Amino acid sequence: MSDVISVRVKKGLKEKAEELGINIRDVVEKALEKAIEEKEKEELKKLASDIKQLMKDVSEEEWVEAIRRSRDER
């Protein structure tokens, strides 16, 4: 399934792309996919940083013990 989007670009840019046989839809779709992927990575990095900050006072031993208890509960 797809949606229609409208983007205004410089006339010369569109004309040049058409002259060169560039598929504008493919270029826009790939650029949007890349931008989404980069944004998701940024959000994951921030989340990991936030978790690291919250866990700064938890020792490795406490962390390992908590994981073991969690596994034993299953």
* Span 58-68, average pLDDT: 90
Looking at the predicted structure, is the pLDDT value of residue 24 above 90? Answer: yes
Any idea what DSSP says for residue 55? T
pLDDT value at position 74? 78
Q: pLDDT band for position 63 (50/70/90)? A: confident
If you search the block for the tokens 């940024």, which residue do you land on? 42
Q: Which tokens hold the place of 7?
A: 């983007």
Looking at the predicted structure, is the pLDDT value of residue 53 above 90? Answer: yes
Domain residue spans of the chain: 11-73
pLDDT value at position 39? 98
Please, what sign has the CA dihedral across residues 60, 61, 66, 71?
positive
pLDDT value at position 13? 96
pLDDT value at position 31? 97
